[in-house]
A and B are shown apart, each in its own frame.
Chain A
Amino acid sequence: DAKTTQPPSMDCAEGRAANLPCNHSTISGNEYVYWYRQIHSQGPQYIIHGLKNNETNEMASLIITEDRKSSTLILPHATLRDTAVYYCIVRGGYQKVTFGIGTKLQVIP
């Protein structure tokens, strides 16, 4: 019952920007968009989150459309270490975090 839709896989050339899309057309006004990633069998790692404004941190940028129905995670200069499964999650308050199947990003040398 994930509230988001992501492509199952993507490739990106090393050094290029990786743009990972996510659709969340049923997002509610108080729900945030969170991004996590899981690198091969490790615990998921928090990347970034936002409500309606674009956000940037040392790992990535998050672009949220004005209607909030979709967003894009941008890894500006992808490296081989960024190969992972990326999960887009919407959540408000103490709602349970529901992980979908995510996008498997393969960074190619």
Chain B
Amino acid sequence: DTAVSQTPKYLVTQMGNDKSIKCEQNLGHDTMYWYKQDSKKFLKIMFSYNNKELIINETVPNRFSPKSPDKAHLNLHINSLELGDSAVYFCASSWGDNEQFFGPGTRLTVL
């Protein structure tokens, strides 16, 4: 009965590869988010979708492309991975602009 789930939990890959991280929420929320937490522990928002529409798009390289097939899912695809992409990526969801519920995170390591 996990509220916000992410797969995979860990992802180790080589530079230049393309990878995807999946997020699903079963809370009936209409808004979903992707955050990046770097090695210095700063948590920064990347994208936000409301009812499958992009509403926040921070200064993120266009190698990162979010996709929301429906309100319960928000996937993150990353092309041509770079060393600096290594981080923990968190998905979150909310009802409207209310409090956000976060997933457990995906630790991405680019070698």
> Which A residues form the contact surface with B (CB < 8 A)?
34, 36, 38, 41-46, 49, 85, 87, 91, 93-99, 101
Describe A's contact surface by its main secondary structure.
loop
Picked from A41, A43, A91, the residue with its CB within 8 Å of the CB of B92 is: A43
Residue of B nearest to A38 (CB): B43
Q: How far is the CA of A91 from the CA of B56 in the complex (A)?
A: 14
Closest CB in chain B relative to A34 CB, distance in Å: 7
Counting residue pairs across A and B whose Cβ atoms lie within 8 Å, the total is: 47
Determine the chain A residues whose CB is within 8 A of the CB of B97 once the complex forms: 91, 93-95
Chain B, residues 68-111, CB within 8 Å of chain A (1/0): the string is 00000000000000000000101010000101111111000000
The answer to whether A98 and B45 touch across the interface, beta carbons within 8 angstroms, is yes
Q: How far is the CA of A49 from the CA of B92 in the complex (A)?
A: 17
Residue of B nearest to A35 (CB): B99
Describe B's contact surface by its main secondary structure.
strand
Determine the chain B residues whose CB is within 8 A of the CB of A85 once the complex forms: 41
Closest CB in chain A relative to B24 CB, distance in Å: 14
Given contacts A43-B4, A49-B99, A99-B43, whether A94 and B55 have CB atoms under 8 Å apart is yes
Given contacts A94-B50, A94-B97, A96-B58, whether A42 and B105 have CB atoms under 8 Å apart is yes
Determine the chain B residues whose CB is within 8 A of the CB of A95 once the complex forms: 97
Q: How far is the CA of A38 from the CA of B35 in the complex (A)?
A: 14
Residue of A nearest to B102 (CB): A43
